Amino acid sequence: MSLSHDDVERIIRLLEASPFDELHLELEGMKLDLRRRGAAASVPPAPDAASLLPDAASLVRAPAAATGKAPAPAAACPPPGQGCVDVRAPMLGTFFHAPKPGADPFVSVGSQVEPETVIGIVEVMKLMNSVAAGVRGEVVEILAPDAQLVEYDQVLVRVRPL
């Protein structure tokens, strides 16, 4: 199966009308990679599914206090609508704090962000979608857990505008 020029133009129009930043298509030896202008140029590939599965020993987890991995504490920030801005999931998918397993997170509590700063990635069907802060400010709370399913419009991060 090959793609005609008209097919490629139709795919480009579909990407432009969609909420996605990138499209990666492979068909019988042919690869097509499309990226919107302004989209993050170096979105990492999806982590291997096997690397996301817990091993049998980790299925029984200790309480968060014992493991030292307690959720990030909330900084003093008024409720949403009274000073802080909620950065929400643009779509349903798996939210990742970092570009790859074991890497430093895009942001952490206390990080200064600009509107275009990537705060995380939402993966949908092996397509990685970067999520930008959308506001200049300081990250005061990270609400979405790493490598977990998030719903459309779920609050991922809370930012205090500067």
Rg for the chain, CA atoms, rounded: 18
Share of the chain above pLDDT 70, in %: 71
DSSP annotation of 85 reads E
Is residue 23 predicted with pLDDT exceeding 70?
yes
User: What is the model's pLDDT at position 3?
Assistant: 74
Nearest to 71 by CA among 130, 151, 146: 146
Is residue 40 predicted with pLDDT exceeding 80?
no
Long-range contacts at 29-38 (CB < 8 A, ≥ 24 apart): 30/2, 30/3, 32/3, 32/8, 38/116
pLDDT tens track for 54-110: 554 444 444 444 444 444 444 455 555 568 999 999 999 999 999 999 999 999 999
pLDDT tens track for 111-129: 999 999 999 999 998 899 9
User: What is the model's pLDDT at position 38?
Assistant: 61
Beta bridge partners of 121: 96, 130
Q: Which residues lie closer than 8 Å to 17 by C-beta, 6 or more apart?
A: none
User: What is the model's pLDDT at position 45?
Assistant: 54
What pTM does this model have? 0.53
pLDDT tens track for 54-65: 554 444 444 444
Sorted by where each starts, the structural domains of the chain and their CATH numbers stand as: 1-38 (no CATH), 81-162 (2.40.50.100)
Q: Which residues lie closer than 8 Å to 43 by C-beta, 6 or more apart?
A: 21, 22, 99, 121, 128, 129, 130
Which carries the bigger pLDDT value, residue 40 or residue 146? 146
DSSP annotation of 144 reads S
